Amino acid sequence: MSIEIDHLGIAVRGLDEALLFWQQQLGMPLQGRETVAAESVRVAMLPAGDSTGSPRIELLEPSEDDSTIAKFLEKRGPGLHHIALKVDDLAATVAQLKNAGATLLNEARIGAGGHEYAFVHPRSTGGVLLELIQR
């Protein structure tokens, strides 16, 4: 089984303000912006490498006051929200984790960039919210 880092999700209060740092100060290119209505979040993706498959930084801004990201920001403030890993077979990985007793936060669904994903609860990963993405 091949596993790679896809992106690091960072909760921000505002995309435009956050992009001032990531784009202007670090010089990272903006790969794209989109709204994921199902998650009540606006997303900006920035590649963190030279190749198409390089890991990315995903900036997450809440689009609703009661969204998961809004609640995260209220409780913890801006910062690292999750780590996302690409897996060869999302369904098999999810089944394996469930069989081992891991707690998943959602069934596989489509998110930013049209990717299929599922989240694993931090209590199952040693304290880190983990997003699994179908390669």
- In the chain, where the domains are located: 3-134
**CB 81 within 8 Å of CB 7:** no
pLDDT band at 34 (very low <50, low <70, confident <90, very high): very high
- Least confident segment among 31-40, 51-60, 96-105, 114-123: 51-60
Q: Average pLDDT for residues 53-65, to the nearest whole number? A: 94
- pLDDT of residue 39 exceeding 80, the answer is yes
Q: How many angstroms separate the CA atoms of 125 and 118, rounded?
A: 14
For the CA atoms of 43, 73, 76, 94, what is the dihedral angle to 10 degrees? -50
pLDDT of 111 above 90? no
pLDDT at 52: 73
Distance CA 59, CA 10 (A): 5
Is domain 3-134 in CATH 3.10.180.10, yes or no?
yes
